[in-house]
Amino acid sequence: MFSKEEKEALYKVIATRRDVRSFKSDPVPFEAVEKILGAAHQAPSVGFMQPWNFILIETDELKQKLAWAADKERRALAIHYEEDERASTFLQLKIEGLREAPITICVTCDPTRGGAHVLGRNSIPETDMMSTACAIQNMWLASCVEGIAMGWVSFYKKADIREILEIPPHIDPVALISLGYTDVYPKAPILETAKWEKRKTLKNLIFKNKWGEYGE
């Protein structure tokens, strides 16, 4: 079904994709944004509920407000690392590029979409959020292919984002996505480079038949 080259390209994109925090001011062509959003909309969703919406933010005023919300939460989180040896590392980390990136996309999740009884969600309510996460992953892979950097900002209070973007109270603002070009595309995850954490060994994460049981 797929050639060897196509398979290798897919795995290369998965391995190359990075969370980016530094952006150039160069505008992103809307055609590329459409492709990235098209990839997001092709994501699987439980009960085919498609719970996502995408708010495209381009004004400096709104980006400044979103950056304020993210920075406020970053400073609040810094308190938790005051007694931790990683405190200085955390404070030096560049958490977001909301002010720099030419476009920000707020990805939302509507838990009411599809009505009260959505196939699969009745058993596991969180599947609407899982479905939205699949859409975001598709955005990441598509942006990587398009040569566009993407950063997922998750440092904020939902109430702040709802107020800034006038989002209804029942809608979850799942992610603030920064899109743009960059001169700094990391070869490894930023937190790995900063020695915050290292990638776990896959074989230690695989059990067979029951939790905690490893194969031969």
Structure tokens at 19: 């969370």
CA proximity to 156, closest of 206, 87, 106: 106
Predicted model pTM: 0.89
The whole-number pLDDT of residue 184 equals 84
**Amino acid 86: pLDDT:** 62
CA angle 107, 108, 112 (to 5 degrees): 155
User: How far is residue 39 from each of residues 34, 134, 162, 163, 189, measured CA to CA in Å?
Assistant: 9, 10, 25, 28, 23
Per-residue pLDDT at 156: 92
Residue 215 covered by a domain: no
Q: Quick check: is 20 in a domain?
A: no
Q: Note whether residue 208 is domain-resident.
A: no
Residue 52 lies in a domain: yes
What CATH number does the domain containing 103 carry?
3.40.109.10
pLDDT of residue 88: 60
Buried b (16+ CB within 10 A) or exposed e, 173-203: bbbbbbbbbbeeeeeeebeeeeeeeeeeeee
For residue 78, is it within any domain? Answer: yes
Please give the average pLDDT of every successive group of 10 residues along the chain, which has 216 residues.
96 95 94 98 93 96 94 78 62 72 96 75 83 97 97 92 97 96 87 81 93 85
Number of domains in the chain: 1
Confirm if 183 and 20 have CB atoms less than 8 A apart.
no
Please check whether residue 152 is in contact with residue 136, taking contact to mean a CB–CB distance below 8 angstroms: yes
Asked whether residue 209 is assigned to any structural domain, the reply reads no
For residue 66, give its domain range: 26-181
Task: Say if 196 falls within a structural domain.
Answer: no
21 is a domain residue: no
